[in-house]
């Protein structure tokens, strides 16, 4: 977890407490909280893919640990993605990857320890204040901070890394 947090802190130096918690949340629980209606999930994915703009130097995937990756919709290589395959991989991931609260809380403790090393833009106090509120809310899924969204334009879906071959198509997609 420490290496993953350091990697993301260096890749996304403007990340805030909520962004670090989101990374850990996705690492532990995957994406099940996002898929309540499969057809609506696919519709939202298509709408997002239709308006997304490519950002140079964005890789097609990035690891978030625990066997999971983010598939970047705004990567220049996103033309290799089958949206139907990506939606199916997200659904499989949600079915296969559950996570547990105790494991998540251990990872949050690791985040607190890493934060003491000063690798993030946010301070240890910022994290403490954020986590107090987050705990009182019952550890819900969180969104990226507005600063993170403005700086990095995140556009991705989380899947199990082993499912990537089901997402890649060999000819450029026409369904966008």
Q: Highest-confidence range of 2-11, 87-96, 166-175, by mean pLDDT?
A: 2-11
Q: Which two tokens stand for residue 40?
A: 């609506």
Edge to edge, the sheet with strand 68-72 lists: 61-65, 68-72, 156-160
> Two tokens at 165?
């071959």
171 has pLDDT over 60: no
Categorize the per-residue pLDDT at 174 as very low, low, confident or very high, splitting at 50, 70 and 90.
Answer: very low
Listed in sequence order, the residues at least 6 apart from 76 whose beta carbon sits closer than 8 Å to its beta carbon are: 54, 55, 56, 58
| pLDDT tens digits along 99-125 | 999 999 999 999 999 999 999 999 999
Please give the mean pLDDT across all residues of the chain: 92
Per-residue pLDDT, 32:
64
pLDDT of residue 98: 86
Whole-number pLDDT of residue 31: 80
pLDDT digits (tens, 9 = 90+) for 37-76: 788 888 999 999 999 999 999 999 999 999 999 999 999 9
Return the pLDDT at 80.
93
How much is the pLDDT for 33? 60
**d(Cα 83, Cα 150) in Å, to the nearest integer?**
25
The band of 172, judged by pLDDT with boundaries at 50, 70 and 90, is low
pLDDT in tens, 152-164: 999 999 999 999 9
């Amino acid at each position: 977890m420490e290496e993953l947090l350091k990697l993301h802190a260096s890749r996304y130096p403007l990340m805030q407490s909520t962004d670090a918690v989101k990374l850990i949340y996705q690492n532990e629980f995957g994406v099940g909280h996002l898929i309540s209606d499969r057809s609506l999930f696919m519709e939202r994915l298509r709408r997002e893919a239709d308006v997304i703009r490519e950002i140079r130097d964005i890789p097609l995937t990035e690891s978030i640990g625990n066997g999971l990756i983010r598939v970047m919709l705004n990567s220049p290589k996103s033309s290799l993605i089958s949206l139907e395959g990506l939606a199916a991989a997200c659904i499989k991931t949600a079915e296969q990857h559950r996570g547990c609260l105790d494991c998540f809380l251990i990872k949050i403790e690791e985040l607190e320890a890493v934060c003491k090393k000063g690798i993030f833009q946010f301070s240890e106090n910022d994290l403490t204040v954020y986590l107090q509120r987050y705990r009182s809310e019952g550890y819900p899924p969180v969104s990226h901070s507005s600063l993170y969204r403005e700086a990095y334009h995140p556009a991705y879906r989380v899947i199990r890394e082993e499912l990537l071959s089901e997402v890649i198509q060999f000819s450029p997609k026409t369904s966008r």
